[in-house]
Every structure is written in C-alpha cells, then in structure tokens.
Structure 1
C-alpha cells in the first residue's frame, strides 16, 4: 500500500447517540489515522441527539478528521445511506472506502490489520464484506 493512500469512511446511522462517540474515538486511535481523508455520517431521520453529538465533535479543535454530516428527512435503508455517503465524496473518491454501522465495536487492531493486509493489492479491485470477526481464544494460555 503506497504511503499516499487515502481512506474514506461512511457510517450509516439511525438513533445512534450512545454509539457515535466511542466509534469516533476508535477512528482517531487507528494507526492509519492520518490517511483518513473524510468521514461521512448519513443519519436517517433521527429522533435522538446523534446529529448534535456529531456537530459538537466536529467543532472540537482536537479532531483531525474532515467530518461531513448528512441528515435525511426520511428513514431510508442502509444501502441508500451508503450511496448518499459515496455521493458526498464527489469525484474525489479515496483509494479505500470503509462502510460501517454506528453500533459496531471493532477489536482494537482490526482495521489496522485489515489495511495492513491490503498492502500490495492496490492495482486490484477488491470488495470485502464482513458482519463479524471471530477471534479464537486459546484457553490454555
């Protein structure tokens, strides 16, 4: 993976206020944090404080990410939200796009390991889909 690669993150949300800040903090702690070009949150007709929390986080001077917040007026399906997020990048799509739900709890190095594994494949078109990561635990240790 070249040193100048860019990562975009699209998060579909719906009434996700209790998950949103932990997810943002997780993104900030990633080893490849400086490669994250933009994080787009697409909130599907929320009735909670998700958008307010995102706006507050966005104003924080310690935040190093370009954050876009799209608030939909109607509750739409997840795929629709992701497509809206892709459109928010316009013609400047990054090398890699990560699609995430707001309520995902990633293992500590999961995304770092995923992007490390993608090294050497930048000339390929790759799609990775996953719903859960199972980590074997050695009970003997």
Structure 2
C-alpha cells in the first residue's frame, strides 16, 4: 500500500513577504471598480483580480506606492482611490460635507434661539382670571 507523501510548504522569500505586504496595503487603499464599495483586497470580481495582478507586477518592477496609485488613477480615474486628491475636480467632494455640517449647525442654533426668545401668547382674559384667583387665595389665608 502506498503512503501519501507529506506535503512541504516552501518558505516565502523575504522580498515576497515585503511585496505581499505592499500588495495588501495598496489593495486596501484602492477601490474595486465593479463592486465600488469594496476594497480591491476584499473583492472577488475578475477586474479586481486583474488589478491586483497589475499592482503585483508594478511592485515587482520596483515602482513605489505613489507611482502605482498614480498609474492606476491615470488609467481609471480618481474613483479608484478611497482618498481622492484635493484638486479642482474633487473640490465639491471635499468641501460639501463640512459645508453641510456648518449649515445644519447654524439652522439648529437658529431654531433653538427662536424657541427661547419667542414669548408664549397669553390671553388677557385668562391672565386676569388667574390674577383674581391668585389674589383671592392670598387674601383668604
């Protein structure tokens, strides 16, 4: 009877460990163009696999992380990154959330001030009746 051979796992080379770490780091920063809300690292779409392969090839070619990101944004646009650069085309994307927050805070504070400063309307007849009742109870005691 034949015995199954024990499988031996080759230890990865030091450069492969560093390359894999860079690939994971870059893949977490890049967006899958098909899934849109998934990172390149977590997506299983065929295009994501192609992009990971392209990133791996660029790492092997000696490109730095900014060079790889620049290459991908030149090719696929700023949408491929989770942190688009601050430039004229993305100005609204960067400035709209803080602007909306400030507008919301302004409207909230204005509403709070309006509630505090608006006196409640009092019917003069009811006020007179309350004064008579109050004055009448204080005289009887």
Q: TM-score range by the shorter chain?
A: under 0.3
Say which structure is richer in helix.
2
TM-score normalised by L of structure 2: 0.27
TM-score normalised by L of structure 1: 0.27
Q: Which has the higher contact order (CA 8 A, sep 6+)?
A: 1
